[in-house]
Each structure stands twice: as C-alpha cells, then as structure tokens.
Amino acid sequence: MKLHNLPFLFLLVFAGCTSQKNTNEFIQTTSGRYLFNANEVLEIYFQDQLLYVKWRGNDQISPLKINDSTFYMKELNEKMIFVRLPQPHIELAPKREHKDVKYHFRKMLPDEKTPSEYLTHKEYDKALIAYRTIQQNDSLNPVIREGNLNNLGYDFLRQNDVNTAIEVFTINTILYPNSSNTFDSLAEAYLKGKDTVNAIVNFKKALAINPENRSSKKGLEKLTPY
C-alpha cells in the first residue's frame, strides 16, 4: 500500500463512525453561498440532511463528513471547517501545502452576487461597484486585470451581446482611465453596435492618451475620411 493513501483511508475510517446527516440548526446556519474567490462561489445546500456543494459546474459534490463541523472535499483535496462566529464562514484546515497561509471563505449576503453574475443579470451598475471594490481591496487580483476584462468584453462581442460588451469595456475605462487600449476597445464595441458617434468619441480618447495607437487611427480614419 502506498503511504500517501494512508491519510485518506484514515478519514474514511474516522468518518465511518460519524453520522453523515446534519442537524437542523447546522443546516439553517450553513446553507448558502460562500465567496471562494473574487469572482467564484461555493454553494452549500442539503438534501435529506446530507451536505452537498455546487462548484465549477458540478451541482452535486458530496463531501465526506469528518465531524459536526468538518468535511473533506476531494475536489479541493481540502478539509473544510464551518465556523459560525463572529460571522459564518468556511476555513480550510491548515496543512503543509498552504505554507502558513490561512484560507477562509465568507458567507455571502442573500442578494449578493459576483461581478460576472451581475453582468449576466444585466445589473451593470452593481457590476462596476463590485469590480471597483475588488480593485480597492486587491489591485493585483486577476479578476480586475485590464487584459482579462478586455478579453471578457470581446467574448461578449463574439456572442453578439453588444450591450454587455460595451458595459464591460466601459468598466475597464473607469478602472484604467489612462489606458489607450480600453477606450479603443470601447470604440470598437460601439462601432459594432452601429453607434458611430460614440465610436468616434472613444477613438479620439484613445488617441489623446496614445497618439500612436494604430487601431484607433485606422478606426477614426474610416469614420472621418475628410
């Protein structure tokens, strides 16, 4: 038997002595959505008093119950500890691979969404607030990187969702007002939506920041040939 299998076998034996069903109080306290990262959610729900998780397209992950507050989720290869106070959240049990970093996922408010969820629901003002909050709290977070938002905007353009693309590019110009490229992308989105007035405005903004922006030069020349 391989030694690295022993910890998991220990969990199986230990969990076998524990009822996999949960109390009504635990279910009421624990059910809900937890912020796994700035733009991703772990959803905890129960069926027949058994705990399940929705995560990354898998709607019925079934963690192994270790004790009344701790569950092993093999998809993460982590033990999740549910903590009630001071606010409900999930902590990952410490292990060597964490390198002394403590991981915890707070429980989200009932009407709270991630930035991408706000976009999906066309709640663009709330999406902007969410992105700006992330930028203020963690300026290096991949979710609010200029390039990632730019790619997201073009994803919506390829799906012919011009309105959402415009909103994403607009958010990018607000987060990165000194970037010529953000305004160039916004201009292209307006152009695809046949709004030449706003396309011209934003091509000019892009060129005001970087007069050598070739894409904006070409776009503006096509729209104002004389």
Count the Cβ atoms, other than its own, within 10 Å of residue 75: 12
Distance CA 111, CA 183 (A): 32
Check: CB of residue 111 under 8 Å from CB of residue 130.
Answer: no
Sign of the Cα pseudo-torsion (178, 181, 186, 190, in order): positive
Three-class secondary structure of residue 75 per DSSP: coil
Residue segments in the chain with a per-residue pLDDT below the cut of 50: 1-4, 6, 11, 13, 15
Residue boundaries of the structural domains of the chain = 3-106, 115-223
Residue type, 97: E
Name the superfamily (CATH) of residues 115-223. Tetratricopeptide repeat domain (1.25.40.10)
Residue type, 91: E
User: Can you read off the two tokens belonging to residue 214?
Assistant: 């070739």
**Residue 65: DSSP 8-state:** E
What pLDDT sits at residue 226? Answer: 57
In DSSP terms, 107 is beta-bridged to 34
Check: CB of residue 108 under 8 Å from CB of residue 122.
Answer: no
Check: CB of residue 97 under 8 Å from CB of residue 117.
Answer: no
